[in-house]
A = this chain, B = another copy of it.
């Protein structure tokens, strides 16, 4: 697996991005066998939906889904690739909690890849699910 990027290498790429750096996204682990990447994101005051609610706005949750899926594809490609499209379904409010996105590659082709992303809160409750299509290894 020496040709696969490590958590540290991908985290270093992630932090070059001002948005990802600002959001505090952190790669927690990579499972190369199941093609799964886990990314966490802490709550920030700027990410609140309503003042003093402690609730995440949907926008940063969608951004976490997009980014986690992208870095799951990077396991194959070596670096993040352009997102083609993605879908976000919100299942429950996320309140006063950090979020954890588990991104699993369902298909990594030359042209496109498809990734599923589950987002859970600190109690392992499912908050949102995402599904994204990304440029493939030849993209």
Contacts and interface: CB of A to CB of B under 8 A. Distances in A.
A33 interface: no
Interface string A88-105: 111110000000000000
Interface of A: 16-20, 22-23, 45-51, 57-60, 62-64, 66-67, 82-92, 106-107, 111-112, 114, 116, 126, 129, 131, 133, 135, 139
Contacts of A17: 48-51, 57
Contacts of A58: 63, 66, 83
A106 B91 contact: yes
A83 B87 CA distance: 12
B66 A63 contact: no
Given A22-B46, A45-B18, A126-B107, A131 B60 contact: no
10 contacts: A18-B50, A19-B46, A19-B57, A19-B59, A59-B62, A66-B88, A84-B84, A87-B131, A91-B107, A106-B129
